[in-house]
């Protein structure tokens, strides 16, 4: 364990100062990835008792459907409950109910896209930081050629090449998972939004 820790610390030293922001970005990206894995699920946006609500609406039991939805806490249930409340008040205009539903469900998009832009930013910044570390490493390489003592030149040459390669590799190691996660969550989020919109249209049609 101690040996592995020493190897990690040695690798960080070899990569130069750019390794510290890369490590911070890596930690942040994995926090966001875990958060999305836990929260970006269909069950977070559609109620588990949606089929029960549909059955009640098919039976034109609007009042019971409203009571069931009022017990839920997800965005879709709250939006649908407001629509049914408006319907029970006598507003049967399809345009009005559709507009109300659309307005209430607009909160879903920011919810499914939470932290995705930050993951995209990390995926863009990490390779640039790696490139910066590569450049500083190459500067050390060129400095080696200006060294008078051959032994010192070889030491600087090895250190410069090591820093350049380590920084470049670390930048990619941080960026690739962040970019991969971004596209996975982006597509999953789009699927969730499409599913919610489909369910909303189906329920509105039941209110005719």
pLDDT at 81: 87
The structure's pTM equals 0.80
Mean pLDDT per 10-residue run, the chain (208 residues)? 57 73 93 92 85 86 86 86 84 81 86 92 93 81 64 67 81 93 94 90 82
Domain ranges of the chain: 18-41+111-189, 42-110+200-206
Cα three-residue angle 72-190-95, rounded to 5 degrees? 65
Dihedral (CA of 119, 121, 123, 125) sign? negative
Looking at residue 80, the DSSP 8-state letter turns out to be H
Report the mean per-residue pLDDT for the chain.
Answer: 83
Looking at residue 148, the DSSP 8-state letter turns out to be S
């Amino acid at each position: 364990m101690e040996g592995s820790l020493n190897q990690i610390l040695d690798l960080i030293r070899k990569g130069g100062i750019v390794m510290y922001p890369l490590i911070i970005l890596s930690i942040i990206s994995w926090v966001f990835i875990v958060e999305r894995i836990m929260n970006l699920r269909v069950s977070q946006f559609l109620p588990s008792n949606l089929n029960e609500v549909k059955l009640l609406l098919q039976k034109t039991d609007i009042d019971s459907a409203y009571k069931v939805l009022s017990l839920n806490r997800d965005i879709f249930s709250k939006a649908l409950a407001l629509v049914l409340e408006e319907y029970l008040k006598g507003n049967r205009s399809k345009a009005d109910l559709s507009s109300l539903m659309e307005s209430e469900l607009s909160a879903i998009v920011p919810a499914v896209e939470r932290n995705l832009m930050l993951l995209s930013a990390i995926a863009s910044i990490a390779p640039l930081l790696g490139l910066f570390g590569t450049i500083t490493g190459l500067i050390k390489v060129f400095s080696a050629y200006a060294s008078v003592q051959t032994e010192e030149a070889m030491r600087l040459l090895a250190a410069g090449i090591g820093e350049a390669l380590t920084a470049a590799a670390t930048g990619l190691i941080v960026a690739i998972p962040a970019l991969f996660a971004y596209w996975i969550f982006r597509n999953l989020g789009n699927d969730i939004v499409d599913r919610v919109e489909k369910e909303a249209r189906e329920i509105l049609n039941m209110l005719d």
